[in-house]
Amino acid sequence: MDFTSYRSQLLQQREGEIALFDLVRNFSQWFFGLLRNFVLVGGLKYFAEKSGSTVLFYLHEFALLVILAYCLSYADRWYINLFGFLANKRVAHWLNMAVNFGVAVLLFWAIHHAVSTIVAEISRAQA
C-alpha cells in the first residue's frame, strides 16, 4: 500500500455539496454582518435618545438610511414581466414598469418598516 496515495485520498471534497456549503457560509456571513449593523444603529439610537445629542441623532438617521439603501439594493435584481405576451412591446414595457415601480414602493415601505422596527427593538433592549 502506497502511503502517499492513501494520504491524498483520505480527505476528499464532494462535488455537489461544495456549492451548498459555500452558499450557507456566504449567507451566514451576510446575515451576521447585517445583524451587527442593526445592533450598531440600534446602539446609536439608544445613545442619541439617552444623551439628547443632535450629532448622534443625525448619525443614527444617516446609518438607518444606509441600511435601508443596502437592503433595497437587493431589490433591483428582479424584473417582473407580467405583460410580455402583449404584441405591442412599448405598451408592455410601460405596464411592466408600472408594476415594477409599485412593487418597489411596497418593498421600500416593507423594508423601511422592518428596519425601523428592528432598530427600535434593539434600542429598547439596550435600555
pLDDT: which is higher, 44 or 11: 44
Band (15; pLDDT cuts 50, 70, 90):
low
- Which three three-digit cell numbers place residue 18? 461544495
pLDDT of 89 reads 92
- Rounded CA-CA distance 43/118 in Å is 12
Q: Is the pTM of this model over 0.85?
A: no
pLDDT of 125 reads 78
pLDDT of 18 reads 65
Q: Which of 17-26, 39-48, 50-59 has the highest mean pLDDT?
A: 50-59
**Model confidence pLDDT, tens digit, residues 78-94:** 778 888 888 999 999 99
**Model confidence pLDDT, tens digit, residues 49-106:** 889 999 999 998 899 888 878 877 776 667 788 888 889 999 999 998 888 888 878 8
Torsion of CA 25, 26, 29, 31, to 10 degrees: -110
**Model confidence pLDDT, tens digit, residues 30-39:** 889 888 888 8
Band (16; pLDDT cuts 50, 70, 90):
low
CB burial class (10 A; 0-12, 13-18, 19+) of residue 61? middle
CB burial class (10 A; 0-12, 13-18, 19+) of residue 119? buried
Residue 97's CB is within 10 A of a number of other CB atoms, namely 13
